[in-house]
Amino acid sequence: MATNQKFTFRRAKIEDIAAVRQMIQELADFEKMSDGPKITEKDLVRDAGLDGGQEYCHIYVLEVQTEEKPTLAIIGYCICFYSYSTWQGKTYFLEDVYVRPAYRGLGAGAYIFRAVAAKAKEYNCQRLDFHVLSWNPARKFYDRMGAIDLTETEEWHFYRVNAEQIEKLANEL
């Protein structure tokens, strides 16, 4: 758990998942994909291993204590998981990072990003990967944080095969 005078970054607990799911929807709304999230609170609990099962992702929350609210309030979240590079070994993938709009500009985004980098280091990961929509103004933030845009520097493109196409390809065997 990482803390400073304002923020606390920690792994999510079951009782945090409703807030995380709500912020997932807020992020989808911001990304103009309001109908995108199909995942449920139950899915998040299961996939984070919070029910005692297999852990597929790490869900973190960012809390803040303000003068108006003496108790900690969840103001952001991120979801990460391990991936693998045949060139470098274990890597950490940042699937989502989100700070509620009312708390932006206070250093919360930088804090959560640095905390994720610290987790990647703690887990002996060789790099931290993530993707960002081309129109998202946060790209300037990531540049300031020292992230490298692989689309520009290495000409990598991010591809996806969706569930329907997976089914089609599997049935062609």
pLDDT single digits (tens) 146-159: 999 998 888 887 88
Q: Decide the pairing of beta strands 89-99 and 128-129.
A: parallel
pLDDT band at 2 (very low <50, low <70, confident <90, very high): low
Query: Can you tell me the distance from the alpha carbon of 151 to that of 142, in angstroms, rounded to the nearest whole number?
Result: 14
pLDDT single digits (tens) 109-128: 999 999 999 999 999 999 99
Q: Which of 107, 127, 106 is nearest to 116 (CA)?
A: 127
Asked if pLDDT for residue 32 goes beyond 80, the answer is yes
Sole residue written with tokens 């400073």: 4
Two tokens, residue 66: 């303000």
pLDDT for position 37: 94
pLDDT band at 56 (very low <50, low <70, confident <90, very high): very high
Query: Can you tell me the distance from the alpha carbon of 12 to that of 100, in angstroms, rounded to the nearest whole number?
Result: 16
Residues identified as active-site: 142
Asked if pLDDT for residue 3 goes beyond 70, the answer is no
Residue 83: which residues within 8 A CB-CB, separation 6 or more?
90, 91, 92, 93, 129
* Mean pLDDT for all residues in the chain: 92
Sole residue written with tokens 């990460």: 80
pLDDT for position 70: 65
pLDDT for position 99: 96
Q: Which residue has the higher pLDDT, 70 or 94?
A: 94
Residue 66: which residues within 8 A CB-CB, separation 6 or more?
73
Domains identified in the chain and CATH numbers: 2-130 (3.40.630.30)
pLDDT for position 5: 57
pLDDT for position 72: 80
First and final C-alpha spacing in the chain: 47
Query: Can you tell me the distance from the alpha carbon of 173 to that of 170, in angstroms, rounded to the nearest whole number?
Result: 6
pLDDT for position 164: 92
Query: Can you tell me the distance from the alpha carbon of 101 to that of 76, in angstroms, rounded to the nearest whole number?
Result: 9
What secondary structure, in 3-state letters, does 102-159 show?
HHCCCCHHHHHHHHHHHHHHHCCCCCEECCCCCCCCHHHHHHHCCCCCHHHHCCCCCC
Mean pLDDT of 33-50: 96
